């Protein structure tokens, strides 16, 4: 996308967008020769490597991936659709995951033992997933046991969590959820227990509990892993219906009420469309809320000429703006806001990983330890089987 097109999307003067270095953050963790981003034959090389691998390999691409990468995806989707795709594919020997680490781990857990999952850059993590470590979650559960509430609490972990947290969830009778089925997962959890421990995204947890299940904000408390007993009193823990882990997405956390007010002031008739990882205030004041897949479907189904300000990662918003030129599609924030870890998967890394495999070298395999995978699979399968 040209600097002036990006500026249109952001409602910024062209010079301001042109000065930002959009491609400065690059992955580093390659044990081989990474092609330079300026290499003029990257597309041809990726095409040739993919052709050489044929049906032995499949590329799964999350909607936040760069255009240069997504063009090579066999299947694109939100976290839920990609988990389903990984489980459904039993034939591809190799799965290149164009997404982040927790998604590749889930694909590895859901595929058979002879299938291998490759993450083209191991530095593609997720800051939200890193906000809940296995030790912290065990400490939390021990405290809930001490307060006598663990037995009536069902853990629900957002897909954006490590395999270890998913395994904890599976072991303790819980399920994974994604942004497209969090409501069903929470309803399912309340059919099994009296309380929900929601990990690690406080915003998705709160938005689901309050805006979908009709609970009160005061039914939710926040567990701060850095404080004794999560910073909560005995009565707060006893009275809470939903215990929200103190985690969030730094990309979606940027969207604010001020953004919404500015946008509505400047663009009459604009509809605000946001991801449920945004804050409760933003989600409560948006016109439409949904997962990345739902955001795409909403724009696809919208009227020609309609105006949308979208609060989610910028690669996806740019792609929608370029695809639906007959609608006015804007980015809700005023400043450039990519997910830096999603962006680590770029064409040089994809080419490097695919060409290595063509040469017989398997690089950057994501392999979840067997015992962890067994329990995590349980939590993932409970999600895939949700009513």
Where along the sequence are the contacts to ligand SF4 (CB under 6 A)?
100, 126-128, 160, 249-251, 277, 313, 339, 341-342
Q: Which of residues 75-94 bind ligand 13P (CB under 6 A)?
A: 78-80
Q: Closest separation between CB of residue 165 and ligand SF4, Å?
A: 14
Q: Return the number of the residue (69 or 357) whose C-beta is nearest ligand 13P.
A: 69
8 binds, among ligand 13P, ligand SF4, none (CB under 5 to 8 A by kind): none
Residue 215's nearest CA partner among 243, 187, 241, 246 is 241
Q: Closest separation between CB of residue 318 and ligand 13P, Å?
A: 16
Q: Are 349 and 121 in contact (CB under 8 A)?
A: yes
Q: Return the number of the residue (35 or 77) whose C-beta is nearest ligand SF4.
A: 77
Q: Which of 111, 178, 259, 318 binds ligand 13P (CB under 6 A)?
A: 178
Q: Closest separation between CB of residue 99 and ligand 13P, Å?
A: 8
- For residues 181 and 170, give the distance between their C-alpha atoms in angstroms, rounded to a whole number: 17
Q: Which of 89, 106, 136, 179 binds ligand 13P (CB under 6 A)?
A: 179
| Interaction mask 253-292, ligand 13P, x per CB under 6 A | ------------------------x-------------xx
Is the four-CA dihedral 198, 226, 276, 382 of positive or negative sign? negative
181 near ligand 13P (CB under 6 A): no
Give strand ranges (E) for 39-140. Answer: 57-62, 75-77, 94-98, 116-118
Residue 30 has phi, psi (to 5 degrees) of -125, 135
Q: Are 197 and 155 in contact (CB under 8 A)?
A: yes
Give 47: exposed, middle or buried? Use CB within 10 Å, 0-12, 13-18, 19+.
Answer: middle
341 binds, among ligand 13P, ligand SF4, none (CB under 5 to 8 A by kind): ligand SF4
- For residues 259 and 206, give the distance between their C-alpha atoms in angstroms, rounded to a whole number: 21
Virtual CA dihedral for 41, 45, 51, 55, nearest 10 degrees? -130
What one-character DSSP code corresponds to residue 208? I
Q: Return the number of the residue (35 or 61) whose C-beta is nearest ligand SF4.
A: 61
Residue 42 has phi, psi (to 5 degrees) of -60, -40
Region of 360 on the Ramachandran plot (φ > 0 left; ψ -120 to 50 alpha; else beta): left
Q: Closest separation between CB of residue 325 and ligand SF4, Å?
A: 25
Q: Closest separation between CB of residue 33 and ligand SF4, Å?
A: 28
Q: Closest separation between CB of residue 82 and ligand 13P, Å?
A: 8
| Count of residues of this chain found to bind ligand 13P when the rule CB under 6 A is applied | 11
Q: Which residues bind ligand 13P (CB under 6 A)?
A: 63, 78-80, 160, 178-179, 249, 277, 291-292
């Amino acid at each position: 996308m040209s600097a002036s097109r990006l500026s249109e999307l952001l409602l910024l003067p062209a010079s301001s967008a042109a000065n930002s270095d959009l491609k400065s953050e690059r992955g580093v963790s390659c044990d081989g020769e990474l092609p330079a981003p300026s290499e003029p034959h990257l597309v041809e090389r990726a095409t040739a490597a993919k052709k050489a691998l044929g049906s032995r390999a499949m590329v799964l691409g999350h909607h936040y991936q760069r255009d240069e990468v997504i063009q090579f995806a066999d299947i694109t989707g939100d976290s839920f659709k990609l988990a389903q795709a990984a489980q459904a594919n039993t034939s591809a020997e190799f799965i290149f995951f164009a997404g982040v680490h927790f998604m590749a781990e889930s694909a590895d857990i859901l595929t058979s033992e002879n299938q291998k999952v490759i993450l083209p850059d191991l530095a593609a993590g997720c800051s939200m997933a890193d906000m809940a470590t296995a030790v912290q979650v065990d400490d939390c559960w021990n405290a809930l046991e001490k307060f006598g509430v663990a037995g009536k609490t069902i853990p629900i972990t957002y897909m954006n969590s490590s395999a270890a947290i998913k395994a904890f969830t599976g072991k303790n009778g819980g399920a994974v959820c994604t942004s497209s089925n969090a409501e069903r997962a929470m309803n399912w959890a309340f059919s099994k227990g009296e309380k929900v421990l929601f990990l690690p995204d406080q915003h998705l947890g709160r938005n689901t509990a309050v805006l979908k299940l009709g609970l009160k904000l005061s039914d939710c408390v926040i567990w701060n892993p850095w404080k004794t007993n999560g910073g909560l009193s005995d009565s707060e823990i006893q009275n809470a219906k939903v215990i929200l882990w103190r985690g969030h997405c730094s990309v979606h956390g940027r969207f604010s009420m001020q953004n919404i007010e500015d946008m509505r002031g400047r663009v009459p008739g604009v509809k605000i469309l946001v991801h449920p990882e945004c804050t409760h205030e933003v989600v409560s004041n948006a016109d439409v809320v949904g997962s990345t897949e739902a955001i795409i479907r909403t724009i696809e189904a919208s009227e020609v000429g309609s105006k949308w300000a979208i609060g989610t990662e910028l690669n996806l918003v740019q792609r929608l703006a370029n695809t639906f030129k007959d609608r006015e599609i804007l980015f809700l924030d005023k400043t450039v806001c990519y997910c830096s870890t999603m962006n680590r998967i770029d064409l040089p890394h994809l080419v490097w990983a695919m060409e290595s495999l063509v040469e017989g070298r398997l690089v950057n395999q994501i392999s979840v330890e067997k015992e962890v995978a067994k329990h995590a699979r349980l939590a993932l399968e409970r999600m895939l089987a949700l009513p």
